[in-house]
A and B are shown apart, each in its own frame.
Chain A
């Protein structure tokens, strides 16, 4: 049973560039959430996708956008990269039920902005 897969595992980008990170959810899950984890901090919620729509968003600027495809996979796009965007980006899949806490995390994409 495949868990959550993320690609790429590591990425180095230059300030001002754009980046796209990808996530395939665990089999059976249809909800995808993205988190940003800066060094020494806990993961911070970016947004959540369900039925190909963003249904919740954390306190992140519009430079952060996403997409969910019909097969439930998801992309996170970040435009105009800043040095402060360097972090581990985690994707988590789950069921959409608010009472269900069966989150599965991918191993993350480590983004370095130079």
Chain B
């Protein structure tokens, strides 16, 4: 089983749609959780951290369920500029901090 698994995608949605991405992780000792955004042929950039209580940043909402080892990202009112690959990322934080990435889910928002 892969350490971090994501929906395979791509997701094709019209502008204004709501889209949800799902992710599961295998290491129950994982400490920190993130969503990164990666534009085509660019480096990954931190979109938001994910907390057990759930957190929101504008149109973006992230949720974490530690019991189910499940992470989600909801994007409301999609914009053309949201088109990118969304990477689910886990930091095991077991002494040394290293990031484990999912394969990513591509989002294409069309007019």
Judge whether A101 and B101 touch: CB under 8 Å.
no
Instruction: Judge whether B44 is part of the interface by a CB distance below 8 angstroms.
Output: yes
Interface stretch (choices B11-19, B58-66, B91-99): B91-99
Instruction: Judge whether B76 is part of the interface by a CB distance below 8 angstroms.
Output: no
Instruction: Judge whether A68 is part of the interface by a CB distance below 8 angstroms.
Output: no
Q: How would you classify the secondary structure of chain B's contact residues: helix, strand, loop or mixed?
A: loop
Judge whether B97 and A45 touch: CB under 8 Å.
no
**Those of A90-114 within 8 Å (CB) of chain B:** 90, 92, 94, 96-101, 103, 105-108, 110
Instruction: Judge whether B55 is part of the interface by a CB distance below 8 angstroms.
Output: no
Given that A42-B104, A98-B93 are contacting pairs, would A105 and B32 also be in contact in the complex, using a CB cutoff of 8 Å? no
Instruction: Judge whether B20 is part of the interface by a CB distance below 8 angstroms.
Output: no
Pick from A33, A98, A99 the residue with the most CB of B within 10 Å.
A98
CB 8 Å contact bits of A17-44 with B (1 = contact, 0 = none): 0000000000000010101000011111
Range, interface on chain B: 20 to 34
Judge whether B103 and A42 touch: CB under 8 Å.
yes
Instruction: Judge whether B69 is part of the interface by a CB distance below 8 angstroms.
Output: no
Q: Closest approach, in angstroms, between the C-beta of A93 and any C-beta of chain B? A: 12
Instruction: Judge whether B57 is part of the interface by a CB distance below 8 angstroms.
Output: no
Name A50's closest neighbour in chain B (CB-CB): B96
**Those of A60-113 within 8 Å (CB) of chain B:** 88, 90, 92, 94, 96-101, 103, 105-108, 110
Q: Please report the C-alpha to C-alpha distance between residue A107 and residue B34 in the assembled complex, in whole angstroms.
A: 19
Judge whether B101 and A42 touch: CB under 8 Å.
yes
Judge whether A42 and B31 touch: CB under 8 Å.
no
Complex partner residue of B44 from A94, A98, A105, CB under 8 angstroms: A105
CB contacts (< 8 Å) of A107 on chain B: these are: 42-43
Report, nearest first, the 3 A-B pairs whose CB atoms are least far apart: A42-B101, A105-B43, A98-B97
Interface of B with A (CB < 8 Å)? 4, 31-32, 34, 41-46, 49, 87, 91, 93-104
Please name 16 pairs of A and B residues whose Cβ atoms are closer than 8 Å in the assembled complex, sorted by A. A31-B97, A33-B99, A35-B99, A35-B101, A40-B103, A42-B87, A42-B101, A43-B87, A43-B101, A45-B100, A98-B31, A98-B94, A101-B49, A101-B99, A107-B43, A108-B43
